[in-house]
Chain A
Amino acid sequence: MREVYISADNIITPLGFTTDENAASMLAGETGIRIVKEENMSPLPFYASLIDPKLLLGRFSIFDDPAKYTRFDKMAICSIKDAVSSTELNLTDSRTLFILSTTKGNIDLLETDSSDKRLYLWNTARMLQQYFNFSNEPLVVSDACISGVQAIITGVRLIKAGLYDNCIINGTDIISEFVLSGFNSFKSISTGPCRPFDRTRDGLSLGEGSGTIILTSDPSACGNVKIVAGDGFSTNDANHISGPSRTGEGLYIAISKLLKNTPVKVDFISAHGTATLYNDEMESIAMTRAGLQEVPVNSFKGYWGHTLGAAGVIESVMSIYSIRNSILFNTAGFSESGVTNPLNIVNASVSKDIGNCMKIASGFGGCNAAILFHRK
């Protein structure tokens, strides 16, 4: 069976335009979540992690005309461009597939024209594919908040099945009035920066960002510390379309399938950790049922909020960074446990040798996913 390796990656959040910039900001204790007063998005101020439009424009203008592209496009292009430039793989041949992970794509365009072609996610993916001269019709994964993890699982499967040798996976979502009004109607936005797993948590912070992972079957194009993207699984709670399962059933099944398939001692778990009451409680139940309550677990949401369809990619990139650089990142916003099944929440960034990481995610529609990354 062929293995799948990580060749290059990138993340773009308010904390930086590269993976290294993000890590440096995180270790300096920064967060991208701040109070936002934008009346065209919400009549009342709210906390979110938004990318500075001027900064994005400046970065993009260095290599192309920003007027030709939407905000979503610019973020995705910047992220893919940085990742592609740091791999020696030839990504324009027919053995390479581009996969876009997003929940809403260019949804802000709906405000002005409900039939704009750029609202179609396949069209956005095709524009990105053509921009970078990738071959093949691109694939779009849209599975709510597990999209990013699911896109990586899909890429791993397609490479293992021998259908492709390389996959470029980009996850991007933007925050506009559309998404903000919806989460507000669910009353799931926190009153301050989100506090994953904390006793006082009261909701999520939305965030926008873009992340890219380049998967390959060729280990020679993956640097000295080789990281394998292992098998992953998705499941459904078969319980409720918007409320997390009270027994953590779907997530528990996903984790169990993964551990049955790859029996390892898990070194670190990157949780979904949105900081809503029900999500974090559900995750604590599922991890405890799976016997993982002693394993160090963090949530990255306190650094850049919930980046929706980008979250699984961005957080996987930072999990891979954790393995490569032997660092466990603090759970920003956490101080005292507020879940009924206590977990080993990482509450300070520390140096630690990590051989593998399990990334988990859950989302609307009752979907759950788990994947394992490990050092070769």
Chain B
Amino acid sequence: MKRACTIASYCSIRGNKVILDDKLLYKGPEDHFSDFASGVYKHFSVSYPKFHKMDNLGKLGFLAAEILLKGRDIINKYPADKTGIMLMNSSSSLDTDRNHQRTISNSNDYFPSPAVFVYTLPNVVIGEICIRHKFYGEGNFFIMEKFNPSFMVNYISQLFDNDIVDCCITGWVEIDGDNFESVLFLIEKSSRTETGIANFEPATIESIYNRK
């Protein structure tokens, strides 16, 4: 049975800007992602000590989810095991892979660390968001060259159609060298009282993704 779902909200973090549902909420002067991420963290008065232990991909996904879910009370709105996360990117965890490689490339200066190594998996950002927001349902991380709105809509729609999720965070979280980009969407099952910002269709997703 088809269950309609809708885009409740979206948040993009890229080009040193944070945008929530077309509104520019923050623009940072920082040169590097880690400084920019700290700027966003302070600007939005986030208080979560674990943030500082996360790798760049973790921080990028965490901050976008934080801003996306603020004040939405998802935890009380849906059963926890029907809240899911599906993310995609192009370079997996290569940013942190390079950091781990630096710790083992010289036998005289050999210092591999579990605190770095655990982030050499792209899906750990999903774990971070789940821990913060108590999402217990589906988690999927897919790697693809470019953001693919059709695949996203097809995949997420069947999760709603089959009653596997009632609410889902989905989108693109990419960091590679100095380039970073996160565009996350909050998708919820349609209700009579809340219509969301737009229909969950590839053309809509693509148009939002292209609004830079």
Partners in one complex: yes
Compute how far the CA of A322 lies from the CA of B157 in the bound complex, rounded to whole angstroms: 34
With beta carbons under 8 angstroms apart, the residue of A120, A143, A163 that contacts B154 is: A163
Number of B residues with CB within 8 Å of any CB on chain A: 54
A253 proximal to B (CB < 8 A): yes
Contacts A110-B101, A137-B144; A236 near B120 (Cβ below 8 A): no
Tell yes or no: B124 within 8 A of A by CB: yes
Contact between A142 and B112, CB atoms less than 8 A apart = no
Tell me whether B142 and A364 are in contact (CB under 8 A).
no
Of listed A43, A157, A163, A185, residue having the most chain B CB within 10 A: A185
Is A344 located at the chain interface by the 8 A CB criterion? no
* Pair B143/A107 contact, Cβ less than 8 Å: no
- B143 touches which one: A121, A233, A242, A365 (CB < 8 A)? A121
Contacts of A114 in B (CB 8 A): 98, 101
Q: Is there a chain A Cβ closer than 8 Å to B114's Cβ?
A: yes
Once A and B bind, how many residue pairs between them come within 8 Å at the CB atom?
Answer: 161
Verify B141–A234 contact, CB threshold 8 A: no
Taken together as a complex, chains A and B put the C-alpha atoms of A332 and B146 apart, in Å, by: 43
Query: What 1/0 flags go to A132-157 for Cβ under 8 Å of B?
Result: 00000101111110000010001001
Contacts of B144 in A (CB 8 A): 122, 137, 139-140
**For the complex, is A161 an interface residue (Cβ under 8 Å from B)?**
yes
**Contact size range, A:** 35 or more
Residue B134 at the A interface, CB < 8 A? yes
Contact with A along B125-154 (1 / 0, CB 8 A): 111101101111111111111001001001
The answer to whether A178 and B100 touch (CB under 8 A), given A236-B137, A366-B130, is yes
| In-complex Cβ contact of B127 among A140, A160, A163, A236 (8 A) | A236
B117 touches A186 (CB 8 A): yes
* Nearest-Cβ distance from residue A245 to partner chain B, whole angstroms: 10
- Cβ of A141 and Cβ of B161 under 8 Å apart? no
The residue among A105, A181, A241 with the most chain B CB atoms within 10 A of its own CB is A241
A residues near B (Cβ < 8 Å) are 43, 103-105, 107, 110-111, 114, 119-123, 125-126, 137, 139-144, 150, 154, 157-158, 160-161, 163, 177-178, 181-186, 233-242, 249-250, 253, 257, 363-367
23 A-B pairs with C-beta separation under 8 A = A121-B92, A122-B143, A122-B145, A123-B145, A141-B143, A142-B92, A161-B158, A163-B154, A178-B120, A181-B112, A182-B114, A186-B117, A234-B138, A235-B137, A236-B137, A237-B127, A238-B136, A242-B118, A250-B136, A364-B123, A365-B124, A366-B130, A367-B139
